[in-house]
Copies of this chain bind each other. A is one copy, B any other.
Amino acid sequence: MKILEAAKRAGLTVKTLRYYANIGMVTPHQDPATSYRDYSEEDVAKLQFVGKARRFDFSVEECRELLGLYEDRNRPSREVKALTLKKVAEIDSRLAELQSLKDELSGLASACDGDHRPDCPILNALSGQT
């Protein structure tokens, strides 16, 4: 099938499919005469796989790793689990970071009157004057 249909089936954009082809992640057959790409059902399955992994916050390089494991029918599940737990840990530390930012900012916001007057604890905090 042609690129637009493959993109629709995978829930991705045509640009994304071309990008994945360029970086060698999902490489459909390409007609040398017209240079049209021709996606197989298996290509679409891989695209769907990558699309889901991306939505799980895996980077494109991590998706490439996962795809490699996915295609290796004999890989130990250990490796996949390790990658997943690493990603969970990353998400966890980002969560903690964002939570602490939110707490600080909320604290500042609630200390600020938010009226027409110029006095503002938020700016005071940012400028270091307590």
A residues apposed to B, CB below 8 Å: 45, 48-49, 52-53, 56-57, 66, 69-70, 73-78, 80-82, 84-85, 87-88, 91-92, 94-95, 98-99, 101-102, 104-106, 108-109, 112-120, 122-123, 125-128
Q: Take A109-B84, A118-B74 as given contacts and tell me if A101 and B52 are in contact as well, using a CB distance cutoff of 8 Å.
A: no
A105 touches B120 (CB 8 A): no
B84 touches A108 (CB 8 A): yes
A86 to chain B, nearest CB (A): 10
Q: Take A75-B118, A91-B105 as given contacts and tell me if A112 and B128 are in contact as well, using a CB distance cutoff of 8 Å.
A: no
Q: Take A88-B102, A91-B98, A91-B102 as given contacts and tell me if A118 and B73 are in contact as well, using a CB distance cutoff of 8 Å.
A: yes
Indicate how many identical chains form the complex: 2
A77 touches B45 (CB 8 A): no
Chain B hits for A102, CB < 8 A = 88, 91-92, 95
For the complex of A and B, list the 4 residue pairs with the smallest distance between their C-beta atoms, beginning with the closest. A81-B114, A77-B120, A76-B116, A91-B102
Chain B hits for A122, CB < 8 A = 77, 80-81, 84
Chain B hits for A109, CB < 8 A = 81, 84-85, 88
